[in-house]
Amino acid sequence: MKLVATARNYREIKLAYRADLVELRLDLYPFKIDRLPKMRYIISCRRLVDRGKFIGDERTRLERLKKFIGVAQYIDLEYDLPDEIFNEFNCKIIESYHNFKMTPSYKVLRDLVENGRGDIYKIATMGKDKDDVLKIVKLLTEYENVVAFLMGRKFTFTRILGAFLGSPLLYCSVRSPVAPGQVKLRHVTKILKYLGYHPS
């Protein structure tokens, strides 16, 4: 499992030195490749529909992502993009599904994963009850290379739970949360240490 710190500016990149990977949100800050310190990066550019801040046409957004292929460990692409878009990215891909309203049925989540085209499938949905927790646990225990957690402060623990159930990535914030229920990197490292987590 790798710790991922989401950065919104160059200052947060520097503060994320304890993370294994740094997620650069291109929709939140105009990062420049020649100014990036030598680190391992996940590159994303969130659309308004995914509660991101990117304003512009889709081709412009995708071209912005492509510019970072040479420095990225992964590029994050949304699940509803067509196959031809995925084929344009000659790199490792995180295919992501976000639902800020609810958590769909397990069948829907399972079908998303089984039809995935990326190297890692990321599922982040809004939690409502224990049944939603069970869906996430089942996904993590039945599939490899799946990141799955529930959003919302009440379900923050599902982010940590993923580390113990085989999730390849654990997303954290550097300072204030970028998504509902996100935990600061320094707090996550302390929690994992306290719980006796040892990466395999």
98, 128, 130, 198: which one is catalytic? 98
Domain ranges (residues) in the chain? 2-194
14, 107, 122, 190: which one is catalytic? 122
What does the pLDDT read at residue 199?
67
What does the pLDDT read at residue 181?
82
Active site residue 98: yes
What does the pLDDT read at residue 197?
84
From the number of C-beta atoms within 10 Å of its C-beta (0-12, 13-18, 19+), residue 135 rates as buried
- With a cut of 50, list the residues of the chain below it in pLDDT: none
Active site residue 184: no
Rounded-to-integer distance, Cα 150 and Cα 180, Å: 9
Instruction: Report whether 195 contacts 9 (CB < 8 A).
Output: no
Using DSSP, state whether 23 is helix, strand or coil. strand
Pinpoint the alpha helices (H) of the chain.
10-15, 58-66, 83-88, 106-114, 130-142, 157-164, 185-194
Which CATH number among 3.10.580.10, 3.30.1330.30, 3.40.470.10, 3.20.20.70 corresponds to the domain 2-194? 3.20.20.70
Which amino acid belongs to residue 182? Q
What does the pLDDT read at residue 178?
85
Rounded-to-integer distance, Cα 122 and Cα 36, Å: 25
